[in-house]
Structure 1
Amino acid sequence: MGRGCATALALVLFFLAITAGEDDRVSDLLRRQAGSKDGIIELDDTGIRHLAASANRPYALLVFFDAHHLRERSGLKLDELRGEFSLLARSYIKNNAGGSGESKIFFCALEFQRAQASFAMFGVNALPHGRFLAPGSGPLNASESMMELNDMVRSAEGMAAYVESKIRHKVGAIDRPPLVSRNQLLLVAAAAIVAAPYVLKKLLIEGKDTPFHNSKLWCVGALLVYFFSVAGGMHNIIRKMPLFMPDRNDPSKIVAFYQGSGMQLGAEGFAVGFLYTVVGLVVAFITHVLVRIKNKTTHRAILLVGMGVCFLAVRWVVALDHWKTGYEIHGYLPRGWL
């Protein structure tokens, strides 16, 4: 009886010691994270072994492999990727501070000069490179889940979708800084207010044959603005999305349409924008030009052709949305019609 109690007590103390050790690691990571300027914890060979090599680790690690001596190679875009990784880390920390996800995942970086043994252990022989270390994954090895830093996840939003699929927890909104600062915006607004009376007087009152008086130019400009907006032009600029990317299975081929709701390539937006523009032009033609045609037969024929073009365009957009997201759109008749 005494021997059984002693064994049970030893097991309890053993598990308490393990739990205390893991709590110490979490506290250490939170302390390092709080002291980091960009939310990324800088580790070396000793640090990654201490914080990651544990069979009972309750937290996940997302590791970004970096090399300062390769930052000058523009093709690798390590500075850009590091910035997006930092944006992801800061957004996650801000959105999950004090919540259940605060210590669910930590964002770390290994620099080649300080962690050459870790590069070799994970089998990293090319950059950019990222690794996801799941909770409780035990001893570190090259089989840990690799995050492919290709065009699909080069943005903070793409990395966030990857993280959410791994930890089953929301990263939250990416707190991306605006392209123009508040002071710059105020300066531009002040200059515009001061110059507005002079510009309006010269162009609209004193001018006669300026481009601002050309209705065709305004029409073309309106079409370009419409196409740019419905094609997701600002989305491509802000998130730096490529028009297309190489096929994973066959690098000699390109992929212009990515299946999945987590990302949209530039070519997809332009294709949908073109279809929207076609519908808009058809509607504009029907409401402004077709109404002037006197012949009813011609009028009806053109109207039917226009309706067919619009139907096909909308059908292609719906089909693309279904292929991309998996959601289907169903039509329902009002109950009063049945």
Structure 2
Amino acid sequence: MAISKTLTLIAILLVLVPINHSFSSSSHEDLLPELINLRSQSPTGVIHLSDHLLRRILSAKSPRSFSFLIFFDAKQLHSKPELSLPTLKNEFSLLSSSFLANNPGNNKIFYFTIEFGDSQASFALFGVNSLPHLRLVPPSATDMKKDSIQMDGSDLARLAESMAEFVEAKTKLTVGPIHRPPMISKKQMAVIIAAGLVLSPFLVKRVLAGGTLLHDKHVWMAGSIFVYFFSVSGAMHNIIRKMPMFMMDREDPGKLVFFYQGSGMQLGAEGFAVGFLYTIVGLLLAFMTNVLVRLKSRTVQRVVMLFALFVSFWAVKKVIQLDNWKTGYGIHAYWPSSWK
């Protein structure tokens, strides 16, 4: 009787093992179509990652047929401006949508966001204890702490472009250009054009009559200085990239960082400093070529010119030192060979 029961149990196990293996294999085969379906339901292609979905992905046989990039988020920290989580999350969505637009049908990588309030177990699995945090999981990863790759937090300040460079460097995939929405929508542009057409007769009449701001030379002078400062300070770069004026030091939270060491990025305060130095040089040059030459005293001309050259040399030297500090590249002067 005991032998009969033993044989029965062995038979049941022999039947269940293939069934379980078949179910597991089927579950893994269904995972990729499910991820593709979830991605298609998202406007930006970003999938919300839950603990259950993460367990399913990690239970798939390694190496998997895809990598995945995770943006770790916490809604309760969105109110802290120094973290810039809403901005970074939006940039992550731009990265995902741009990748899909540039690589339609590419299933080699998926983009996930995971919320701390819903998936604390997953945060612990990856060992995430601070935000912002971006992590790439390669196809062969089994240990999430050791095998996954964290993106350097300082590079996140460069937004979607730096995320794209990170993906391309670690996965050998091509992300392509980031498609940012225009600053002015088509409806807003239509309203502006319509308003311009309506007001154009009155504006033309005022301009022809004279006495407007367009006829004041001081307005044009101030405008030219503003345009010059705007161009040399990199303000357009800061506006497009939504760069902060400064950022908190990750090693010392009580300290603010105004100058970022690294090429390809500058903070707002850094741009203003460089723009101010260049504007000083430009104004001194304009003063020497338009005002100083009108003075009759040669002595005054020489003294002022020497002072202007000294200040200009100092300002340009500071800009070169900043560039050397940021990029590591130095600028060296060489005497002409005929002078030696």
Residue 48 (structure 2) aligns with: 42
Q: Summarize deviations over 1:257-293 as a string: whole Å, max 9, x none.
A: 1111132111111111111111211121122112212
Offset, 1:175:
0.8
Secondary structure at the aligned position of 2:299 is classed as: helix
Q: Structure 2 CA distance, aligned partners of 1:74 and 1:250?
A: 17
CA contact (8 A) 1:232 1:269 kept: yes
Residue 294 (structure 2) aligns with: 292
CA contact (8 A) 1:58 1:136 kept: no
**Mean Cα deviation higher: 174-183 or 218-227:** 218-227
Secondary structure at the aligned position of 2:264 is classed as: coil
Q: Structure 1 CA distance, aligned partners of 2:99 and 2:332?
A: 36
Q: Is the counterpart of residue 250 in structure 1 residue 252 in structure 2?
A: yes
Q: Is the counterpart of residue 89 in structure 1 residue 93 in structure 2?
A: no
Offset, 1:80:
3.5
Q: Structure 1 CA distance, aligned partners of 2:296 and 2:337?
A: 39
Residue 39 (structure 2) aligns with: 33
Q: Structure 2 CA distance, aligned partners of 1:227 and 1:146?
A: 38
CA contact (8 A) 2:136 2:149 kept: yes
Q: Structure 2 CA distance, aligned partners of 1:279 and 1:113?
A: 53
Secondary structure at the aligned position of 2:72 is classed as: strand
Q: 1:63 aligned to 46, 63, 70, which one?
A: 70
Residue 3 (structure 2) aligns with: none
Residue 188 (structure 1) aligns with: 192
Q: Structure 2 CA distance, aligned partners of 1:32 and 1:74?
A: 30
Equivalent position amino acid for 1:306 in 2: A
Residue 176 (structure 1) aligns with: 180
CA contact (8 A) 1:62 1:132 kept: yes
Secondary structure at the aligned position of 2:261 is classed as: coil
CA contact (8 A) 1:22 1:57 kept: no
Equivalent position amino acid for 1:254 in 2: L
**Mean Cα deviation higher: 73-82 or 277-286:** 73-82
Secondary structure at the aligned position of 1:107 is classed as: strand
Q: Is the counterpart of residue 263 in structure 1 residue 299 in structure 2?
A: no
Offset, 1:233:
1.8
- Equivalent runs, 1:1-338 vs 2, <5 Å: 29-52=35-58, 55-57=62-64, 59-66=66-73, 70=76, 73=79, 75=81, 78-97=85-104, 102-112=106-116, 115-124=119-128, 128-141=132-145, 144-147=148-151, 152-153=156-157, 155-167=159-171, 169-202=173-206, 204-206=207-209, 208=211, 210-329=212-331
Residue 4 (structure 1) aligns with: none
Residue 13 (structure 1) aligns with: none
**Mean Cα deviation higher: 147-156 or 278-287:** 147-156
Return the TM-score normalized by structure 1: 0.76
Secondary structure at the aligned position of 1:61 is classed as: strand
Return the TM-score normalized by structure 2: 0.76
CA contact (8 A) 1:41 1:108 kept: yes
Secondary structure at the aligned position of 1:224 is classed as: helix
Cα distance, 1:324–1:149 mapped onto 2, change above 3 Å: closer
Cα distance, 1:120–1:249 mapped onto 2, change above 3 Å: closer
Cα distance, 1:192–1:71 mapped onto 2, change above 3 Å: farther
CA contact (8 A) 1:71 1:77 kept: no
CA contact (8 A) 2:158 2:265 kept: no
Equivalent position amino acid for 1:160 in 2: A
CA contact (8 A) 1:242 1:265 kept: yes
Q: Summarize deviations over 1:71-111 as a string: whole Å, max 9, x none.
A: 8746566544332211011112323447xxx4453211224
Q: Any stretches of 5+ residues in structure 1 without a counterpart?
A: 1-19
Secondary structure at the aligned position of 2:64 is classed as: coil
Q: Which has the larger radius of gyration?
A: 2
Q: Any stretches of 5+ residues in structure 2 without a counterpart?
A: 1-25
RMSD after superposition = 3.7
Q: Structure 2 CA distance, aligned partners of 1:292 and 1:275?
A: 26
CA contact (8 A) 1:260 1:325 kept: yes
Equivalent position amino acid for 1:301 in 2: V
CA contact (8 A) 2:158 2:241 kept: no
Q: Summarize deviations over 1:187-233 as a string: whole Å, max 9, x none.
A: 3123223312312323x34453x544432233223212321232122
Q: Structure 2 CA distance, aligned partners of 1:178 and 1:135?
A: 35
Q: Structure 2 CA distance, aligned partners of 1:22 and 1:291?
A: 81
- Number of residues paired by the alignment? 314
Secondary structure at the aligned position of 2:112 is classed as: strand
